[in-house]
Chain A
């Protein structure tokens, strides 16, 4: 009977089924690793905190961006636009057109700014008052400020603007949404930057956990050597370290979640006050369950990966001498 023929179980030892062995081993190593974590509460807490802050940072910025987008999205629809009328249109005609437009279902209100009023405002604000006095006639047309109704989508507003622009009395429709689009573009850049930043922070977590596990491996070098002498495979000696990484990531993720929720809670008051000032039902978008679970999952994956990377490398190096 050749020794190598029994691959895993020792010949005279009766082992239980492979799957239950696997599950039992993992369960007991997981609990063992958890126990070691709690035996050094301060050191463990430090690492968990570092991971938590590193995870909470991109998560909270992500939340801020999401809220900013939602906010600017609502501005998009409630945006006024200016309709400049033909130069030769009389005030009465302009007023009539304004009334007509105001009756439309998709229009909330229309305000007429006469050429005279516009010129007066311009004189006051531009500082060209005296130069403008020299003008023989008012170069400005009458204008209507149209506020679309609440039920509009950005598509229906576009349609409304086009329809008004095609009216014979209308010279030009000026849409003031450019800045909103620019704002969105900026948000997109910030979002991209967050993705890059989050990747770097993820790398930092892998390094932090890897380093912690490396120290742990060094401290338990004798134990690893003895275990290997007794016939433990690399997978066996690696397992407790993988579980340590798992727990660091798990608790780090949970704490990150707690930090983000705490931040949201602290912001709730100021935002309610701001919403009160604007008389809007502005509310902060909270974390969804999926996002919350995602933070913890990212922590776990990074923790496991970081410890795996280190353990795989060091386990092969530690051989009985």
Chain B
């Protein structure tokens, strides 16, 4: 599903976020990317979401070489990927249901279908009863679940999440991870950036450790 080949990303300041990274994520996998802040986790996800482009190397997502995606085609490309953010990125001027419906509106789904699918997505994260509320009235954990519902409402094959539990306490984090797990069980490929190693180990998923833009050999080997 995701294939990185010798990917480097250097920012204008000269700082190298990723250097010569090779990485493979198979379809149906649930993989965690760990590392200190600044290790390149976010950059990796941003390259996959085409928020940024690599300085060199290939990023291939679902058989599509992102280098060949023209600027004009980026929106259509992004619609194929579900994204979850540390700060949820919800819109607070509209109710929960409208937040979840946003990707469907962007995709031009019929209103009736959209309503049905929004309810289904909210049901999957256990927030159907709060669909009419404003996101502001929800707890941090609930807001993150709304963010997840929004990410999966278009039923993407790939879901990427950048520190989805970064602002949550351990119990809520575990709950969020279990939701991810359930999506993984129905075939969604997940790539999750997190530094919560204890939690990841409890889930027993594959873990990729980044350090200064490279794969950390020890971690990598231990998994192999």
- B86-98 interface bits toward A, Cβ cutoff 8 Å, 1 = contact, 0 = none: 0001110100000
The yes or no answer to A320 lying at the interface (CB within 8 A) is yes
Contacts of B63 in A (CB 8 A): 1-3
The yes or no answer to B132 lying at the interface (CB within 8 A) is no
Q: Is the CB of A2 within 8 A of B154?
A: no
Which of B6-14, B71-79, B122-130, B215-223 lies at the binding interface? B71-79
- Shortest beta-carbon distance from A130 to chain B in Å: 92
Q: Is the CB of A8 within 8 A of B76?
A: yes
Contacts of B79 in A (CB 8 A): 10, 230-231
- Shortest beta-carbon distance from B167 to chain A in Å: 17
Contacts of B25 in A (CB 8 A): none
A99 CA / B111 CA spacing, docked (Å): 88
User: Which parts of B76-113 form the interface with A (CB within 8 Å)?
Assistant: 76-80, 83, 85, 89-91, 93, 102-111, 113
The yes or no answer to A92 lying at the interface (CB within 8 A) is no
The yes or no answer to B166 lying at the interface (CB within 8 A) is no
Interface size counted on chain B using CB atoms at 8 A: 38
The yes or no answer to A71 lying at the interface (CB within 8 A) is no
A18 CA / B181 CA spacing, docked (Å): 36
Interface centre among B63, B89, B93, B157 (most CB of A within 10 A): B89
The verdict on A3 contacting B64 (CB below 8 Å), with A24-B111, A230-B78, A320-B51 known, is yes
A222 CA / B111 CA spacing, docked (Å): 24
A207 CA / B158 CA spacing, docked (Å): 44
The yes or no answer to A193 lying at the interface (CB within 8 A) is no
Interface centre among B73, B85, B106, B154 (most CB of A within 10 A): B106
Q: Is the CB of A4 within 8 A of B69?
A: yes
The yes or no answer to B62 lying at the interface (CB within 8 A) is yes
Contacts of A13 in B (CB 8 A): 104, 107, 109, 154-155
The verdict on A12 contacting B62 (CB below 8 Å), with A227-B106, A230-B102 known, is no
The verdict on A2 contacting B64 (CB below 8 Å), with A8-B76, A229-B83 known, is yes
Contacts of A185 in B (CB 8 A): none
The yes or no answer to A96 lying at the interface (CB within 8 A) is no
Q: Is the CB of B64 within 8 A of A25?
A: no
- Shortest beta-carbon distance from A246 to chain B in Å: 20
The yes or no answer to B115 lying at the interface (CB within 8 A) is no
Interface centre among A4, A12, A24 (most CB of B within 10 A): A4
The verdict on A16 contacting B103 (CB below 8 Å), with A1-B63, A3-B61, A228-B75 known, is no
The yes or no answer to A181 lying at the interface (CB within 8 A) is no
A10 interface neighbour in B64, B80, B91, B113, Cβ under 8 Å: B80
Q: What residue of chain A has the Cβ atom nearest to residue B68's Cβ?
A: A4
Q: Is the CB of B108 within 8 A of A229?
A: no
Q: Is the CB of A231 within 8 A of B108?
A: no
The yes or no answer to B28 lying at the interface (CB within 8 A) is no
User: Which parts of B142-164 form the interface with A (CB within 8 Å)?
Assistant: 150, 154-157
The yes or no answer to A301 lying at the interface (CB within 8 A) is no
Contacts of B102 in A (CB 8 A): 226-227, 230
Interface size counted on chain A using CB atoms at 8 A: 34
Q: What residue of chain A has the Cβ atom nearest to residue B70's Cβ?
A: A4
Q: Is the CB of B154 within 8 A of A226?
A: no
User: Which parts of A1-36 form the interface with B (CB within 8 Å)?
Assistant: 1-4, 6-16, 21, 24-25
A16 CA / B113 CA spacing, docked (Å): 10
The yes or no answer to A236 lying at the interface (CB within 8 A) is yes
Q: What residue of chain A has the Cβ atom nearest to residue B85's Cβ?
A: A229
The yes or no answer to A233 lying at the interface (CB within 8 A) is yes
Q: What residue of chain A has the Cβ atom nearest to residue B82's Cβ?
A: A230
The verdict on A7 contacting B76 (CB below 8 Å), with A223-B91, A229-B89, A230-B103 known, is yes
- Shortest beta-carbon distance from B161 to chain A in Å: 13
The yes or no answer to A89 lying at the interface (CB within 8 A) is no
The verdict on A2 contacting B62 (CB below 8 Å), with A7-B76, A230-B78, A232-B75 known, is yes
Q: Is the CB of A229 within 8 A of B78?
A: yes
Contacts of B157 in A (CB 8 A): 11-12
B76 interface neighbour in A6, A12, A225, A228, Cβ under 8 Å: A6
Contacts of A233 in B (CB 8 A): 72, 75-76
- B131-149 interface bits toward A, Cβ cutoff 8 Å, 1 = contact, 0 = none: 0000000000000000000
A76 CA / B107 CA spacing, docked (Å): 67
The verdict on A9 contacting B68 (CB below 8 Å), with A1-B62, A229-B78 known, is no
Contacts of A232 in B (CB 8 A): 75, 106
A9 interface neighbour in B61, B69, B108, B156, Cβ under 8 Å: B108
A223 CA / B105 CA spacing, docked (Å): 14
**A-B residue pairs in contact (CB < 8 Å), sample of 7:** A3-B77, A4-B64, A4-B68, A10-B155, A231-B76, A231-B80, A231-B107
By Cβ-Cβ distance, the 9 closest A-B pairs, closest first, are A231-B79, A231-B78, A21-B108, A3-B64, A12-B155, A233-B75, A2-B64, A3-B80, A232-B106
User: Which residues of B are interface residues toward A (Cβ below 8 A)?
Assistant: 49, 51, 61-64, 68-69, 72-73, 75-80, 83, 85, 89-91, 93, 102-111, 113, 150, 154-157
